[in-house]
Amino acid sequence: MFGANGIELCRIIEEELAHMQKEIATGVERPKQEITHLLPEEAKKIEVELKLEEEHRETVERLRVLTLAARKKRVNERMARHVRRMNFIMFWPHCHQAHYDLYEKWDMINIQVGAKETFQLTEEGAKEALYMSDIDPNEACLHALLNGEALVVMFRMYDTDNRDFVKLLRHALYVEIPEPKEDVPPEKQVPPIPAYERYATISKSAREVRRERYEARMQKLREEKEDAERLASEQARLAREAEEERQREEKQRQEEERMARIQAGLPAEPEPVGDEEEMEGEEKEETEATEEPEALEEEKVEEEEEFHSDVSVEGEEYIPPGGLFVPGLYSPPNDLAKANGLAYFYPKMVQENTTIESEHLPPHVLVMFNIDKRHEVQELMAQYADEILAVTHSIQILI
């Protein structure tokens, strides 16, 4: 602990002996602590050090995030110069039909579809897709976006077209109001609102969602019941036809037996036997057995009808909060958002149109030292660690 400092060690020993003599003389024990316990001064010092380390980690993390954001912005600025004639629209999983409803608009603004693909997004993917967007990624919006495959359509402009693709597509979807068509009846006319507002919705409350799920379940039960009744009636018809065919064959057989008995000189009708009563008992049991499952199915439907939509069910699917804005489609509002979205959804097409840029390095020099001076150099490097780009060791043996 003290190494070669014996003087300090002797001083501490003398103090401890004096304290022990004092305890023996007065009979009052000095308060002591376990060796594993920290002194108040040590605990305070450790707390301060931990706080400084936490602040340092937060500073480093904040700097890392800012560095990545600046790097991402710079990369998107470089890509945006090469994808001026490319753009995309992302349709939410429940609004794929919007792309086909708006197909005439693409011809009106003179653009063509370059690619079309569906993507199952994750939370990280949604952040990339909505990078620098004007959409509020609330719970209902993200739930609707992640609950299924999103349709992403990539558009191209002609090589001679120099319009601003971002403003062109945003105006067509967010501002332009469709004109009424003369050959379409009024009830089938498109509402006079922009396409973005037409396909946007407000998330429903938990009660409304449960009511819709309840109605869908009851509709499914009714359809299943109708199918079961249709199947039962068809089976009854086939059974009835089979029974009629059996009776016809039985009657024909009896007629042939009767004619054969007459030709043989025997009585036309044989003596009666008690088989008919046994057959009637079996038919009665079969009808009772078929009636029981039908009664059970009716009871099951009646039990389902007692479900209430305002009662939460354990294990039900997540329901986002109500009253939140949920868009149906999205077009990037600026060149950086457009470039980032295209690079995420269609990286190969972006690479074909983007030239590779060499890595940028600040002004730097190369310094070499002999290997036998590496310990001295390490002390010097520790003082300027932030200014050193890379370090390597190289040993060459010449023969």
Question: What local confidence, expressed as pLDDT, does residue 272 receive?
Answer: 62
Mean pLDDT computed over 253-278? 71
Assign 231 a pLDDT band (cuts: 50, 70, 90). Answer: very high
Q: Which of 358, 394, 327, 299 is nearest to 143 (CA)?
A: 327
Return d(Cα 49, Cα 312) in angstroms, integer: 49
Report the distance separating Cα 336 and Cα 166, nearest Å: 10
Chain segment 2-50, per-residue pLDDT in tens: 566 778 888 888 988 998 898 888 888 887 777 788 878 888 999 999 9
Q: What pLDDT sits at residue 3?
A: 61
Percentage of the residues of the chain whose pLDDT score is greater than 90: 19
Give pLDDT tens digits for 155-201: 998 888 888 889 999 998 898 887 877 777 777 777 788 888 888 88
Taking alpha carbons only, the member of 115, 107, 108 closest to residue 87 is 115
Give the pTM.
Answer: 0.63
Q: Flag the least confident range among 141-150, 232-241, 382-391.
A: 382-391
**pLDDT tens readout for residues 282-322:** 555 555 444 455 554 555 444 545 555 555 566 667 777 78
- Tokens representing 92 are 């939410």
What CA–CA distance (Å, rounded) separates 48 from 28?
A: 35
Q: Tell me which of 57 and 41 has the higher pLDDT.
A: 57
Give the strand pairing for 112-119 and 86-91: unpaired
- The percent of residues above 70 in pLDDT, for the chain, comes to 83
According to CATH, what is the number of the domain 83-203+323-353? 3.30.70.141
Instruction: Measure Cα distances from 17 to 25, 28, 230 in Å.
Output: 12, 15, 103
Nearest to 294 by CA among 360, 245, 225, 342: 225
Terminal Cα distance for the chain, rounded: 51
- Confidence check: pLDDT of 348 > 80: yes
Model pLDDT, residue 312: 57
**With 50 as the cut, is the pLDDT of residue 398 above it?**
no
- Which amino acid is present at 237? R
CB 19 within 8 A of CB 30: yes
Residue corresponding to tokens 């991402």 = 72
The domain ranges of the chain are: 83-203+323-353, 216-268+276-304
